Amino acid sequence: MELKFLYAILFFLPVVTEEAVYTGTSAVAVDHTKVKDPSVCQLQPDVGPCRAAHHQWYYNITLRECAVFVYGGCEGNGNRFEKKKECRKLCIKQEKKDACKQPKDPGPCMALGYRWYYNEATDDCEMFAYGGCQGNENNFATEEECRAKCVKAPKPPSTSSGICMQPSDSGPCRARHTKWFFDLDERKCSFPMWYYNRDGKKCEPFNYGGCKGNANRFSTKAACDKKCNRGRF
Residue 228 has pLDDT above 80, yes or no: yes
CB distance 177 to 210 below 8 Å: yes
135 and 197: one domain? no
Section 203-216 average pLDDT: 78
Q: Which among 56, 72, 91 is the end of a domain?
A: 91
Residue range(s) defining the domain that contains residue 49: 2-91
Tell me the pLDDT tens digit for each residue of 76-100: 999 999 999 999 888 876 545 688 9
83 and 24, same structural domain? yes
Q: What is the pLDDT of residue 172?
A: 62
- Residue type at 106? P
Does one domain contain both 122 and 112? Answer: yes
Domain total in the chain:
3
Same-domain check for residues 64 and 29:
yes
CA distances from 99 to 23, 140, 149, 150, 212 (A): 48, 10, 9, 8, 20
Range name among 60-74, 117-131, 169-183 with the lowest pLDDT average: 169-183
- Domain boundary (131, 154, 177) is at 154
**102 and 23 housed in the same domain:** no
Read off the CATH number of the domain in which 57 is found.
4.10.410.10
Q: Is the pLDDT of residue 188 over 70?
A: no
Residues 106 and 143 in one domain: yes
pLDDT at residue 176 in the model:
47
Query: For position 223, what pLDDT does the model report?
Result: 81
User: Are residues 6 and 83 located together in one domain of the fold?
Assistant: yes
Question: Domain ends where: 56, 71, 91?
Answer: 91
Phi, psi of 128 (to 5 degrees): -150, 160
Regarding whether 128 and 74 lie in a shared domain, the answer is: no
For residues 221 and 233, membership in a common domain is answered with: yes
CA–CA distance, 195 with 216 (Å, rounded to integer): 5
pTM as predicted: 0.38
Q: For 127-179, write each residue's pLDDT tens digit.
A: 888 888 778 889 998 888 998 999 876 555 444 456 677 776 666 665 544 45
Please, are residues 104 and 81 in contact by the beta-carbon 8 Å criterion? no
H helical segments located in the chain: 2-12, 32-35, 84-91, 143-150, 160-164, 221-228
pLDDT at 51: 92
Residue 28: the pLDDT is: 36
- Which pLDDT value is given to residue 221? 82
Q: Are residues 145 and 161 in the same domain?
A: no
